[in-house]
Amino acid sequence: METLPPELSHCDLRRSALVKDKGDPSFGCALELDCGERVRVGCDPEDDGTQTSLCDCEFERDGKRSQLVQGQLFQGEGAAPCRTAAIACLALRAERAP
């Protein structure tokens, strides 16, 4: 079973997957967490030698979705940028909370 970094320890892991696009040698990722609300993160590797990924993050509560991050660069490829993006998204969400 995959363990989450300490910054995400208050969340339950719902789904974690590596995603490979046809013809692309790198892997992206998809991560779904339950942190009191559903958090979905998806990252696509840029495959340009920079070892970075473009990530999106959205939250869902009571059937309402809100996109918090779209197309932001995070370090790494594979599963790592999904975790990093989730941490950043939750921190941003906390900053914007009323």
- Given a cut of 70, is residue 94 above it in pLDDT? yes
pLDDT digits (tens, 9 = 90+) for 34-72: 999 999 999 987 767 788 889 999 999 888 888 888 889
Residues of the chain with pLDDT > 90: what percent? 46
- Reading the block at residue 59, the tokens are 């939250």
pLDDT bucket at 85, cuts 50 / 70 / 90 = very high
Q: In this predicted structure, what is the pLDDT of residue 67?
A: 83
Task: Please tell me the predicted confidence (pLDDT) of residue 98.
Answer: 64
Largest CA distance in the chain: 44
How many CA atoms within 13 Å lie on the side-chain side of 35? 22
pLDDT at 1: 52
Residue with more model confidence, 21 or 57: 57
How far does CA 33 lie from the centroid of its chain? 9
